[in-house]
Amino acid sequence: MARIDAFLRIGREQGGSDIHFTVGQPPLVRLDGELTPIKFRTLTLEEAESLISEIFSDYHKEQLEEKGTVDLSYTAPDAGRFRINVCRHLRGLGISCRVIPEELPRLSDLGLPQVVQRFSSFNAGLVLVTGATGTGKSTTLAAIINEINQTRLRQDPDVILVGELRDHETVALALEASETGHLVFGTLHTRGAAQTIDRIVDALPSEGQGQVRHSLADNLKCVLSQELVRVADGRGRRVAAEILVVTLAVSQLIREGKTFQIPSSITTGRRVGMQLMDQSLLALVRAGDVDPDEAFLKATDKWGFAPYVTRPELLSLITNTPGAESGPKAA
């Protein structure tokens, strides 16, 4: 058994989402978004390299040497499956191990808005799930794909999961597939629907951006942007979601490059399931489901959250919020 397995087992048993190893610190478990040290000594560079070397192949060693980073999957006999990233940094080496759940999640159990159930019923087009690292994008996609497998498998759906759209080649391939009758799912590390569309357009050379906007206008079905927020008692997290459904009006905005108007379209699109991230966060705060201070910090327009803040020092951030000088706004 590789020595790293013992730490991975501890992390999973504690309910952690990730286990981190970095030079100069003890091993860490991420619990509800917070890093908690495992009772162990501070790792040296030699110890970190020794831990990962036991599960590295020659290919992984070459990739780390050439690129400074490598991704791999790993199954520990007593701890289950993990997605691992290893990278070189200023202090030497960092290892991040994401816990892969043993059972596929059900879409209905994730706490997402009802409209997300429709994502699995599309026959073709592009569906994007976005958010920062660790906001549940992979979990949501796994649940959607599982829903498709459970309900449409005999119909032989032509579904492609691209993963992260991080370069122009991947973007171009995803768009081409969505144009040719495939249902394509992808992720980006963006916050909000408008930023997501701009990121995709900007990934292509300037001479091809007009064509990309037309392709998105015709084939993008929806954008789901996620945040995870601690619940009010600190035991667990709830998902907040911004949802853009591409209607004819939104399609025209994308085609004309007027993505700055998309938040307004989301605000007026509630009847088809659209909502802004701030609307989702505020609803969770008003229901008493999440920590209001954390929701305040994640919000874009912080005025609506001010009455719920429990740490008065946070209110000073409002003066630094774009548009704050206009005063409070109706929710």
H-helix segments, the chain: 4-13, 45-53, 58-67, 137-152, 168-179, 193-203, 209-219, 248-255, 262-267, 277-286, 292-298
**Structure tokens that stand for 251 in this block:** 């399609």
Residue 175 zone, left/alpha/beta (φ > 0; ψ -120 to 50; rest)? alpha
Please state which CATH number belongs to domain 107-326.
3.40.50.300
Ranges in the chain annotated CATH 3.40.50.300: 107-326
Average pLDDT, stretch 99-105? Answer: 87
Residue 126: alpha-carbon gap to chain centroid: 17
Please tell me whether residue 305 adopts helix, strand or coil conformation: helix
Mean pLDDT score, 282-293: 95
Neighbours of 32 (CB within 10 A): 15
The most confident of 10-14, 107-111, 119-123, 241-245, by mean pLDDT:
241-245
pLDDT higher than threshold 80 for residue 324: no
Give the pLDDT mean for 264-291.
96
Give pTM, 2 decimals: 0.84
- Mean model confidence pLDDT for the chain: 91
Higher local confidence (pLDDT), 234 or 114:
114
For strand 18-22 and strand 220-230, is the pairing parallel, antiparallel, or unpaired? unpaired
Statement: residue 278 has pLDDT above 80: yes
pLDDT at 331: 40
Judged against a pLDDT cut of 60, whether residue 321 lies above it is answered with no
pLDDT at 323 over 60: no
The model's confidence at residue 92, banded by pLDDT at 50, 70 and 90, is confident
Q: Where in the chain is the domain with CATH 3.30.450.90?
A: 4-99
Q: Is the pLDDT of residue 156 over 60?
A: yes
So what's the pLDDT on residue 155? 59
Torsion angle in degrees (nearest 10) through CA of 274, 276, 279, 281: 120
The 3-state DSSP class for residue 210 equals helix
pLDDT bracket for residue 302 (50, 70, 90) = very high
Residue 164's nearest CA partner among 173, 151, 152 is 173
Assigned token pair, 260? 């700055």
Per-residue pLDDT, averaged over 75-93, amounts to 91
Contact between residue 227 and residue 240 where contact means Cβ atoms under 8 Å apart:
yes
Identify the pLDDT of residue 223. Answer: 97
Q: What is the structure's pLDDT at 319? A: 60
So what CATH class is 4-99?
alpha beta
Q: What is the pLDDT of residue 89?
A: 87
Q: Residues of the chain with pLDDT > 70: what percent?
A: 95
Q: How many CA atoms lie within 13 A of 226 on its CB side?
A: 25
